[in-house]
Every structure is written in structure tokens, then in C-alpha cells.
Amino acid sequence: MAITGFGVTELNLIGSSGTPKIESPNNLNLNAVTVAISTNATVGGTLGVTGASTLSGNVAISTDLNVSGISTFVGIISATNGSYLPDGKKITFGTGAGGVPDLSIYSNGSSGVIETQDGGTIYIKDGSNNLVTLSGASNQVDFHKTTLFIGNSKNVVWDHPNDSFYFSDNAKAVFGQGDGFGVRDLSIYSDGTNGIIETQDIGTILIKDGSNTMATFSGSTNNINLNAVTVAISTNATVGGILTATSFSGGGNDIVTSRWTIGANGSSDYTFTGPGGLSGANDPTIYLARGQTYEFVNNSGGSHPFQIRVSNGGSAYSTGVTNNGASSGTIKFEVPFAAPNTLVYQCTSHSSMLGNIVVYPSV
């Protein structure tokens, strides 16, 4: 006759060696109000807990642990095969204000979530050092160390000690939505050689002082407008096109009144193109004003030295003349007040390449 039940006040398993065992061919149910395990417990199979449980020692779990109630772990938990929580189930830390946990970790079904209470702060630390602070109160993320942001092919570094962002070549700081086709209103970057400030096609870049526009760079008109009260250029400036202003001020000592480009018609004539309506004109008479500056750009081929002379076949007139007799390049003539009323220009290698220079007013 099988015994179906008996009462035991205390059960001690004592063995001189080996591990004492309680075995059952079927389930072993522990139905006491409290089951206390005061030392280490090892579960080789699946442990299912349906009620509340408290484990105060170290717990090593080598297989599955299914908990459907609330379990309190006072000691260390070792889960050899990892831990799993279903969607919406949270691991919480701390009590927080109003019973809201200081920190919760869970999955919402599509994303992993690390969450703090409203106005709380999450710290990512290296020992006692804060690496990253995520503040709910200020709604900001603070990086306390040098941080590398890795892009698809370009990187950006936050250099914390120097309070600087460093962008790798062609990594851009972009602003605005642009035209809706991926072109931004403004991009700032380095192409590896040059620093570039770039806007979309036909866009405009404004340089402002508060509400005042100092300069406008227009892509639609391809113009640069300088709107400052004073535009100071402390070194030389070269303008390849036309410089227009309502007025000019300053010494103007280096202003060139006229400039002609000199060509050659074989070895017979110089050709002039430039002011005075000249376009390939053969040996024209040139009119120069006293006290003004003129330039002759010799593009005649290198074999026709251009010289300003006192007369046909005469000596060179070099007062105020720079680079007189040059076969190429620019000959500059700053006409003295005391210059003769007439001079000539002549090729020093071909005497028929000759023209008159009239200096006015006549003295």
C-alpha cells in the first residue's frame, strides 16, 4: 500500500560524501507559505515560479527560469544562457519620485528602450567619470569626452578639451531643407584642399551684422554686392571685369587710364585693340593726356620689341616709361607734364612698324 502523505517537522539530508538528493519520478511540489533557500541553489532543469519568491543567496541558473510572479533577488544572479523578457516587460532600478522607477530597460515591441522618469537624468560612465549625460530636465545630451561620430563614409569628432568639432574632408555642416531635392540652403566643408561655403544653385549667401546685410553673394545673378559703409582692401585687388561705383576716393596714383593690346600684322604694322574704338587697327595714332597712366600689352609674338621713341628711328624716350622696348608683356607709360607734344612707338627690329603718339594739351 502506497503512502500518499506524511508530516515532517524538519528534514536534514546528511551524507559523508557526494550530494544528497530528493528524487521523484513525477513533479515535486513545494506548497509551503515560504520556501527559504539560505545557501547556493543550482537548478539543472527548468525552474518555474508562479508566486512571489525571495532568493537571498547566490543563484546560478544554467537552464531556463520561468517567473510569472514577483521575485526578489538579494544576492547575485548568474544566468549562463542569458535572460529574456517579453515585449513591454521591464527591468526597473530604484524607486524614483512618486513611485516611478529611476531607470527602466525594456522592449516596446519594435525598439529597445532605456527610460528614466520625467525630468530625470541618465549617465553613461567610465568608473567615476561621466562620458555622456542625457538630461530629461534640459532635454539635452552632453558629451563629456572626445567623441567620434561615424558616418557612412565621413566622420565628425567632438574634441571636448578644445571645445571644437572637427569634420573630415567632405564631411559637411548643412543648414536648411533647400529645394527639396537633397540640396541644402547652406553647406560648409573642406574638399581636402579648400574651405568651401556653398549654397544651392541660384541660391544666395548673406553675410550679416545683426539685421544689416554686409555682403550678398548671389547665385542667380553671379554677383557679389558689398553693402558695408566702408569696404577696406589692405592689399592689391585685381578686377577681371568692370568695377562700378557711385564714386571713388583716394590717391588713385596707380589707376590706368587706358590699356591697349598690341598684335602684329606680319612685320609691317602693329595692330591695336582697345579704347578709342580700336579693333586690330594698323599703326593708329594714339592720344595720351599729361599726368595720366597708360599701358601697352605686347602680344605681338615675341619678335617685335615695342619702344616709345622721341622720333622715327630716334632714341628711346624713357621718362615715365617702364619696360620700354619689351618684346612681350606690359609697357607702362606715366606721361609727365613736361613730355614732348609728339612721340612715336616703333619696333626696334622692324622700322616700318611705326605709329605716332600725340600728347595733349599741347605745350
Question: 223 and 290 in one domain?
Answer: no
Tally of helices (H runs) and strands (E runs) in the chain:
0, 32
Give yes or no: residues 263 and 354 share one domain: yes
How much is the mean pLDDT over the chain?
84
Q: What is the SS3 assignment for 213?
A: strand
Q: In terms of domains, do 217 and 275 share one?
A: no
When mean pLDDT is compared across 117-121, 132-136, 297-301, 343-347, the lowest value belongs to 117-121
Looking at the fold, whether 228 and 294 belong to one and the same domain comes out as no
Does 2 reside within a domain?
no
Asked whether residue 304 falls in the same domain as residue 222, the answer is no
Q: How far apart are CA 94 and CA 208, in angstroms?
A: 51
Does a structural domain hold residue 59? yes
Rounded Cα distance between 237 and 232, Å, is: 11
Model pLDDT for residues 336-355, shown as the tens digit of each residue: 999 999 999 999 999 999 99
- Domain ranges, residue 269: 258-360
For the chain, the straight-line distance linking the first and the last C-alpha, in angstroms and rounded, comes to: 153
Examine the domain organization and report whether 213 and 267 are in the same domain: no
In a domain? residue 141: no
How far is residue 177's CA from residue 181's CA, in Å, rounded to a whole number? 9
Number of domains making up the chain: 3
Give a yes or no: residue 194 inside a domain: no
Residues 276 and 222 in one domain: no
Residues 236-268 pLDDT 10s: 888 887 777 777 777 766 788 999 999 999 999
Is there a domain that residue 250 lies in? Answer: no
Give the pLDDT band of residue 139 (cuts 50, 70, 90). Answer: confident
- Same domain? For 309 and 230 the reply is no
Q: Do the domain assignments include residue 13?
A: no
Using left for φ > 0, alpha for ψ between -120 and 50, and beta otherwise, residue 117 falls in beta
pTM exceeds 0.75 for this model: no
Taking only the tens place, the pLDDT of each residue in 85-114 is 889 888 888 877 777 788 889 999 999 999
Same domain as 335, residue 280: yes
Residue 229 sits in the same domain as residue 269 = no
Domain assignment present for residue 130? The answer is no
CA 196 to chain centre: 9
Other beta carbons within 10 angstroms of residue 184's beta carbon come to 17
pLDDT at 352: 96
Instruction: Assess whether 210 and 303 both reside in one domain.
Output: no
The answer to whether position 73 is within a domain reads: yes
